[in-house]
Structure 1
């Protein structure tokens, strides 16, 4: 599970595997990414978009969402909110923060439009002095992966997707069709069709990304992690 290092140093660190003996076990700072690009291709490098790393969260009560209970919502979504603030802060304070071109945080699209709107508000995207934060916001991602069948096919999930899409944001759904089942892809496609139905002439909308599809047979949920 994603977590910040105790020091919270101003380096973006991604830890792919918990087990030290794994060949992919390593930590990387922002500078290491452009330094790994061949010099012949470095002239085309502009930067990267940070995509959320599946930080832990809890599901707030419906009443907290409907009544805009900021204290309860911040507690439930503390770590995803902290992740956004950490990366946004790096883009402004780190010597190499200029390479951070955008952020795609997690969002509670499984809880419907109201929950997504509350999370969006807590990110401080709207209002005076928030233009730069809004510019950095490129979209949201939600990983279905190991959730039960029907997780996408209800009313709330497409509703949450639609709220983001109409805001002009990218809506990314992470799937695991191999382990979770083909139903994930089928429900994702159906949900997207439902969102865009009757909106052929609506302008300023976002885009949909269906990612992962399947993990390889070497995927191990107990070993994989991402850290900041």
Structure 2
């Protein structure tokens, strides 16, 4: 069971209340339209309580902070993303502004940072942004920057296939960074999966092995978990894409984000019921990528929407069930819970 293995949560989001207006998705009535801090994350993972003084899960080594979709005006305005990097700096150095909900002690939980970057603008502008981002981050936080993300799930078809985008990805590879891939089959259809396959192929074409950018696929590529039949064309297309994507040894998958794709009536069900309902998808991921390229991630606090404050613990139980049903060895379980994240993001802890 996972209680015997260190845990790295490979996918969480954090943001202070003072910067809510910079979040592209945040409206006053949004269920996540208030501060999400390390203190709340500690409480969400705690096995002993739910107050702000709670200690995190005893096996939780730390987390990887993924960018939270700041406004950027089509990548032309970098104010919001650079402001997020300044927040990341305060977190990584343990120097919060008053009321931000983290402390100097929490800095050790921050194992990796994945900010936004304007990959779509091509290598020249991307390089300019990286220089500004490094200056904004400072040496301590910049040493924790392991990769970058530019969400494709809400962009026009073909956005990740432009020559500029592909050359931007190649620049990240030359600099040793990973790229987090956010696509959405559930709402955008199979074309998102097909383009992800082509994007990876083109980004690696003609590139020496040591300079190929590694890809970390978020949230199982957001499949439609409302499907009830494995003969549904959407499930078949998703399953085919998973095995195709896994053929590239420099692709990894986050076992995360499933709660957002569930039908509403299932979100409140016990962990066992959810596990049973989504087992076909979980089984495909483990079969395709294996534990050495699959990593645990919670997608906190997004996972709490419609599920509740116990969402992290519920997902933790579900992933535990995956390990048990798959009959993973202790070594393979250790990879899924933390080893794969350390390898993909080059984390030493």
TM-score (norm: length of structure 1): 0.71
Deviation at 1:26, TM superposition (A): 6.0
Residue equivalent to 1:69: none
Structure 2: any 5+ residue segments left out of the alignment? 1-13, 20-24, 49-55, 97-102, 223-259, 265-301, 303-349
Q: Indicate conservation of the 8 Å contact 1:125/1:133, yes or no.
A: no
Residues 174 and 210 in structure 1, CA contact (< 8 A), matched pair in contact too = yes
Q: Which one of 156, 167, 178 corresponds to residue 164 of structure 2?
A: 156
Q: Is residue 121 of structure 1 aligned with residue 122 of structure 2?
A: no
Distance 1:79 1:38 in 2: 35
- In structure 2, distance between residues paired with 1:150 and 1:79: 25
Per-residue deviation, 1:192: 1.0
Which fold has the larger relative contact order, with Cα–Cα distance below 8 Å and residues 6 or more apart in sequence?
A: 1
Answer yes or no: is 1:140 the counterpart of 2:141. Answer: no
Unmatched segments (≥5 aa) in structure 1: 9-14, 61-72
Cα distance, 1:37 vs structure 2: 2.9
Give the Cα–Cα distance (whole angstroms) in 2 for the partners of residues 203 and 151 of structure 1. 26
| Counterparts of residues 55-70 of structure 1 (less than 5 Å) | 55-59=70-74
| Structure 1 residues 118-172: Cα deviation after superposition (integer angstroms, max 9, x where no partner) | 111111269xx95423311010011111222221122111111111122111101
**Separation (CA, whole Å) in 2 of partners of 1:169 and 1:37:** 32
Q: CA deviation at 1:16?
A: 8.3
Instruction: Give the number of the structure whose residues are more often helix, by fraction.
Output: 2
- Corresponding residue number in structure 2 for 1:90: 91
Query: Are 2:175 and 1:167 equivalent residues in the alignment?
Result: yes
Shift of the 147–218 alpha-carbon distance from structure 1 to 2, 3 Å rule, reads: farther
Q: Give the Cα separation in 1 of the matches to 2:29 and 2:175.
A: 40
Matched, 1:202 2:209: yes
